[in-house]
């Protein structure tokens, strides 16, 4: 709609004459009725023009939480704001918006969040409608350690411009420690929109979020005691997979099967010591981080990310180091050279390879981002375990460039967090990885390695609910003898009839690799029959290879079993996705 009709424009004489003739024939009560009707219409048009739509696309909940915070801020300021998920909005609805804030994250390797993928595809397509009366601003969430940093937010920003939109406030690209950037963007964007929208001061302080307040969050984590830690792999295994239990008694923390738990780790003392030795900085030196004072040692251990390298970090670092070789790498048109340097290296390598004489303790701290929490798919149902939350964590250890390396959070959980001591945790709800509401619906679960975690939660939940729906599990890992995670539990579920079918792919027990997708293909006709009977299909675990290969196998099964073309099989699976019967939790 156009907001540009000039105020107080005189009516043309022909329109005036027509109206005069119409009014002369009307009764007084008819004129009153018409006046009221026109006023109501004008109010409706003004209301719509002053409405602010906050549209988010999320996978692990950050964009949703920031959208809710923006909504609260906007309502306090007197905006008429509403919030929508890209998973649930159509382009036709978007077209009706005049004022838009987009908050969206990037996943995979520069991909949209799973639930925003259809909307993203439609929005980027040639058939997308013109949006030339829309004012907008974009907040992009991402992680500088990924090559395609904030790509989806950047795509939305550029597409809104190309569809004719008016960028009212500049896009902000956020790294994983997004709090300050979010505050700056939301304040700035709302100020910019307040200059084009009529605010209703009577409406201020009204706060309508779409869901009940979450008690614990990134900013207000729950301190929960580690009460159990068991290595699930047997002696001789190449893997180390920890079953962990956190005690929730008295915390009030709640979760649902399918959600993830975020854990705030600390760096290891050994790594901090090596870093201090390399820099020759005194650990007791006072440093400040966002107005708070710490000793350097404490800041490096508990507050800052000292392992992840990224191009933006190296660029900032080289502004101090001024190293020609590093500048050459950063400027190289072939970006694979800097990525190759980054892979398998950390801050200590950079300090050794490209020393920075001018670096001080404070300037080092200023270069580093905050240590981000890590997510873990919850491996328990709260219906079966009211006072605990369980995780299944693969411990990350590897050697590169002559040094033993460790994953920060997995080794924090496996080695550094003592039993009966607390860690900071909070739940990141995953609305898109839930059991079917209909407890009679069959489910197929594909979860090799740590991908098994949410399916343990699903089975506990279905048992607690007395769900009648059939359950089929595909699990795989390296060896049957040492790596069959939670073996006794699956066998007990089979015995009691809860788990109707289990197919196992132990990849290294024979010459040729056998993976879960091979087991799916070997059971193609039965799997298709389950799908036809309304089964939900779940995948959890490795995103880079497994999830892709399982998806390929699923397409092949549908194509062959239904006798469909490649395109028709793709449509069948697209429909399953839109019916929320093909759900993935991959990382
Ligand atoms: C929604 C979600 C659910 C998840 N659920 C689970 C789960 O249930 N269980 C689980 O174990 N994990 C899960 N993860 C992964 C988890 O969040 C962490 O990423 C994982 O534990 C590693 O974290 P870390 O801090 O130990 O390692 P980090 O310190 O983050 O190190 C990992 C990085 O080390 C590097 N690296 C690792 N191996 C090598 C190698 N061989 N050579 C060179 N570089 C290497 C890579 O850059 C890698 O990104 C999940 C992730 C998400 C997003
Ligand atoms: N994005 C990530 O950061 C990420 C994601 C997942 C796992 N990991 C890391 O990988 C390590 C172990 O993870 P995990 O315990 O969950 O197990 P995993 O490495 O995913 O392995 C589980 C099983 O899947 C098999 N597998 C390998 N490639 C596959 C494919 N293309 N399709 C299907 N199956 C395949 C493995 O076989 P083979 O090993 O014999 O080939 C193994 O039998 C951990 O260090 C974890 O942090 C990292
Ligand atoms: C498996 C995985 C892949 C990711 N891929 C990217 C990426 O390609 N580019 C990027 O900028 N950020 C990437 N991120 C970072 C997320 O965008 C970031 O964590 C964001 O805050 C998530 O927001 P959400 O919770 O709203 O989905 C990735 C994160 C994970 C766990």
Domain count, the chain: 4
3-state per-residue secondary structure call for 447-487 = CCHHHHHHHHHHHHHHHHHCCCCCEEEEEEECCHHHHCCCH
Question: Are 97 and 67 within 8 A, CB to CB?
Answer: no
Atom nearest to 477 CA in ligand 2: 43
pTM: 0.90
Question: Which CATH number characterizes residue 101's domain?
Answer: 3.40.50.360
Residues of the chain with pLDDT > 70, as a percent, come to 94
Tell me whether strands 397-400 and 403-406 are parallel, antiparallel or unpaired: antiparallel
Condensed to tens digits (0 to 9), the pLDDT of residues 31-66 reads 888 888 877 776 666 665 669 999 999 999 999 999
pLDDT at residue number 204: 61
- In whole angstroms, how large is the CA radius of gyration of the chain? 28
* Weakest-pLDDT range from 34-38, 122-126, 287-291: 34-38
pLDDT at residue number 5: 47
pLDDT value at 110 more than 90: yes
Do 191 and 230 lie in a common domain?
no
Strand partners, 390: 245
Residue whose CA is closest, atom 14 of ligand 2?
A: 449
Do 463 and 341 lie in a common domain?
no
pLDDT at residue number 375: 98
Q: What's the CA-to-centroid distance between 176 and ligand 3, angstroms?
A: 8
Do 346 and 287 lie in a common domain?
yes
Q: Does 260 contact ligand 1 (Cβ within 6 A)?
A: yes
Q: Which of 367, 389, 414 is the last residue of a domain?
A: 367
For residue 15, which phi and psi values (nearest 5 degrees)?
Answer: -65, -45
Instruction: Judge whether 166 lies within some domain.
Output: yes
- Two structure tokens written together for 191: 């100020």
DSSP-derived secondary structure letter, 415: I
Do 384 and 242 lie in a common domain?
yes
Question: Among candidates 212, 207, 165, 166, which has minimal Cα distance to 79?
Answer: 207
Rounded Cα gap, residues 262 and 255, in angstroms: 12
Do 239 and 388 lie in a common domain?
yes
Mutate which of 448, 453, 517, 541 for ligand 2 pocket (most atoms within 8 A of beta carbon): 448
Question: Among candidates 109, 53, 108, which has minimal Cα distance to 85?
Answer: 53
Atom nearest to 545 CA in ligand 2: 31
Residue whose CA is closest, atom 10 of ligand 1?
A: 393
Atom nearest to 453 CA in ligand 1: 8
Condensed to tens digits (0 to 9), the pLDDT of residues 207-264 reads 444 444 458 998 899 999 999 999 999 999 999 999 999 999 999 999 999 999 999 9
Question: Which CATH number characterizes residue 310's domain?
Answer: 1.20.990.10
Condensed to tens digits (0 to 9), the pLDDT of residues 525-541 reads 999 999 999 999 999 99
Atom nearest to 174 CA in ligand 3: 21
Rounded Cα gap, residues 499 and 493, in angstroms: 5
Q: Determine whether 426 is exposed, middle or buried from the number of CB atoms within 10 Å of its CB (0-12, 13-18, 19+).
A: buried
For residue 272, the tally of other CB atoms under 10 A from its CB is: 21
Of residues 144 and 219, more confidently modeled: 144
- The ligand 3 site (C-beta within 6 Å) comprises 58-63, 105-110, 113, 141-143, 146, 148-151, 176, 543, 587
pLDDT value at 187 more than 80: yes
Question: Are 302 and 371 within 8 A, CB to CB?
Answer: yes
Condensed to tens digits (0 to 9), the pLDDT of residues 354-386 reads 999 999 999 999 999 999 999 999 999 999 999
pLDDT at residue number 16: 77
Question: Among candidates 493, 394, 403, 509, which has minimal Cα distance to 448?
Answer: 394
Question: DSSP 3-state helix, strand, coil percentages of the chain (rounded to 5)?
Answer: 40, 20, 40
510 contacts: CB under 8 Å, gap ≥ 6: none
Please give the distance of CA 509 from its chain centroid, rounded to a whole number. Answer: 36
Atom nearest to 586 CA in ligand 2: 5
Question: Which CATH number characterizes residue 516's domain?
Answer: 3.40.50.80
Question: Which CATH number characterizes residue 382's domain?
Answer: 2.40.30.10
Crossing angle of helices 117-124 and 151-162, in 10° steps, is 40
Confidence of residue 27 (pLDDT cuts 50, 70, 90): confident
Q: Which residue's structure tokens are 């719509």? A: 48
Confidence of residue 437 (pLDDT cuts 50, 70, 90): very high
For the CA of 390, the nearest ligand: 1
pLDDT at residue number 41: 72
Rounded Cα gap, residues 409 and 395, in angstroms: 9
Where would I find the beta strands (DSSP E) of 313-402?
374-377, 388-394, 397-400
Do 460 and 547 lie in a common domain?
yes
DSSP secondary structure, 134-171, as one string: -EEEEEEE--TTSSSTTHHHHHHHHHHHHTT-EE-S--
Instruction: Judge whether 95 lies within some domain.
Output: yes
Question: Are 446 and 538 within 8 A, CB to CB?
Answer: yes
Q: Which residue's structure tokens are 């699923």? A: 554
- The ligand 2 site (C-beta within 6 Å) comprises 239, 241, 394, 396, 448-451, 476-478, 507-508, 513, 515-517, 541-546, 549, 587
Q: What's the CA-to-centroid distance between 546 and ligand 2, angstroms?
A: 7
Do 458 and 349 lie in a common domain?
no
pLDDT at residue number 209: 46
Question: Are 215 and 221 within 8 A, CB to CB?
Answer: no
pLDDT at residue number 338: 96
Q: Does 394 contact ligand 1 (Cβ within 6 A)?
A: yes
Instruction: Judge whether 183 lies within some domain.
Output: yes
Instruction: Judge whether 362 lies within some domain.
Output: yes
Residue whose CA is closest, atom 28 of ligand 3?
A: 107
Question: Are 151 and 106 within 8 A, CB to CB?
Answer: yes
Residues of the chain with pLDDT > 90, as a percent, come to 86
Q: What's the CA-to-centroid distance between 582 and ligand 3, angstroms?
A: 21
Do 517 and 565 lie in a common domain?
yes
Strand partners, 375: 262
pLDDT at residue number 529: 98
pLDDT value at 3 more than 50: no
- For residue 192, the enclosing domain spans 50-203
pLDDT value at 352 more than 70: yes
Q: What's the CA-to-centroid distance between 127 and ligand 3, angstroms?
A: 28
162 contacts: CB under 8 Å, gap ≥ 6: none
Of residues 61 and 139, more confidently modeled: 139
pLDDT value at 9 more than 70: no
Instruction: Judge whether 29 lies within some domain.
Output: no
Mutate which of 404, 407, 427, 546 for ligand 1 pocket (most atoms within 8 A of beta carbon): 407
Do 114 and 237 lie in a common domain?
no
Q: Does 135 contact ligand 1 (Cβ within 6 A)?
A: no
Q: Does 502 contact ligand 1 (Cβ within 6 A)?
A: no
For the CA of 409, the nearest ligand: 1
Q: Which of 317, 340, 367 is the last residue of a domain?
A: 367
Do 498 and 577 lie in a common domain?
yes
Rounded Cα gap, residues 253 and 378, in angstroms: 13
Q: Does 544 contact ligand 1 (Cβ within 6 A)?
A: no
Do 258 and 330 lie in a common domain?
no
pLDDT value at 298 more than 90: yes
Of residues 484 and 204, more confidently modeled: 484
pLDDT at residue number 49: 61
Of residues 285 and 217, more confidently modeled: 285
Do 82 and 160 lie in a common domain?
yes
pLDDT value at 11 more than 70: no
410 contacts: CB under 8 Å, gap ≥ 6: 242, 374, 393, 394, 395, 396
Condensed to tens digits (0 to 9), the pLDDT of residues 173-185 reads 999 999 999 999 9
Q: What's the CA-to-centroid distance between 294 and ligand 1, angstroms?
A: 28
Strand partners, 539: 446, 584
């Amino acid at each position: 709609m156009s907001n540009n009709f000039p105020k107080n424009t005189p009516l043309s004489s022909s329109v005036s004459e027509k109206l005069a003739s119409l009014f002369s024939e009307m009764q007084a009560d008819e004129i009153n009725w018409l006046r009221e009707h026109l006023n109501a219409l004008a109010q409706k048009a003004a209301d719509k023009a002053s409405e602010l739509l906050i549209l988010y696309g999320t996978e692990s909940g950050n964009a949703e939480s920031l959208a809710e915070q923006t909504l609260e801020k906007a309502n306090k300021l007197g905006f008429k704001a509403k919030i929508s998920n890209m998973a649930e909005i159509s382009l036709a609805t978007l077209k009706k918006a005049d004022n838009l804030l987009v908050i969206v994250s990037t996943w995979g390797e520069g991909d949209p969040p799973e639930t925003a993928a259809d909307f993203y595809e439609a929005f980027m397509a040639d058939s997308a409608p013109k949006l030339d009366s829309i004012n907008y601003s974009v907040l992009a969430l991402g992680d500088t350690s990924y090559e395609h940093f904030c790509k989806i937010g950047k795509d939305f920003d550029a597409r809104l411009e190309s569809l004719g939109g008016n960028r009212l406030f500049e896009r902000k690209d956020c790294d994983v420690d997004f709090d300050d950037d979010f505050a700056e963007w939301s304040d700035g964007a709302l100020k910019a929109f307040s200059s084009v929208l009529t605010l209703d001061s009577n409406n201020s302080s009204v706060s309508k979020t779409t869901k009940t307040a979450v008690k614990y969050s990134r900013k207000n984590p729950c301190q929960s005691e580690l009460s159990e830690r068991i290595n699930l792999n047997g002696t001789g295994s190449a893997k180390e997979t920890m079953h962990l239990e956190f005690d929730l008694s008295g915390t009030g923390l709640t979760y649902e099967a399918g959600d993830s738990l975020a854990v705030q780790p600390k760096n290891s003392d050994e790594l901090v010591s090596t870093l201090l030795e390399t820099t020759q900085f005194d650990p007791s030196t006072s440093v400040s981080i966002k107005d708070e004072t710490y000793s350097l040692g404490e800041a490096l251990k508990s507050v800052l990310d000292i392992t992840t390298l990224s191009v933006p970090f190296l660029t900032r670092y080289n502004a101090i180091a001024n190293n020609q070789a590093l500048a050459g790498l950063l400027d190289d048109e072939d970006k694979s050279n800097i990525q190759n340097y980054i892979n398998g290296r950390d801050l200590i390598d950079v300090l050794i390879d490209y020393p920075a004489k001018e670096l001080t303790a404070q300037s080092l701290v200023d270069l580093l981002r905050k240590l981000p929490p890590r997510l873990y798919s919850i491996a328990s149902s709260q219906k079966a375990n009211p006072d605990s939350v369980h995780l299944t964590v693969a411990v990350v250890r590897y050697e590169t460039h002559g040094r033993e390396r460790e994953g920060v959070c997995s080794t924090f959980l496996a080695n550094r967090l003592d039993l009966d001591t607390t860690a900071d945790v909070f739940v990141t709800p995953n609305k898109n990885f839930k059991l079917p509401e209909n407890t009679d619906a069959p489910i197929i679960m594909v979860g090799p390695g740590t991908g098994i975690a949410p399916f343990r939660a699903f089975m506990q939940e279905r048992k607690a609910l007395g769900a009648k729906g059939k359950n089929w599990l595909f699990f795989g890992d390296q060896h049957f003898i040492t790596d069959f995670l939670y073996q006794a539990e699956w066998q007990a579920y089979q015995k009691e009839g809860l788990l109707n079918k289990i197919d196992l792919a132990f990849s290294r027990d024979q010459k040729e690799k056998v993976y879960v997708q091979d087991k799916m293909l070997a059971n193609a006709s039965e799997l298709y029959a389950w799908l036809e009977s309304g089964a939900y299909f779940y995948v959890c675990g490795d995103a880079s290879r497994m999830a892709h290969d399982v998806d390929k196998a699923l397409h092949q099964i549908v194509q062959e079993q239904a006798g469909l073309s490649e395109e028709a099989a793709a449509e069948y699976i697209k429909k399953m996705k839109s019916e929320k019967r093909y759900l993935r939790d991959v990382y």
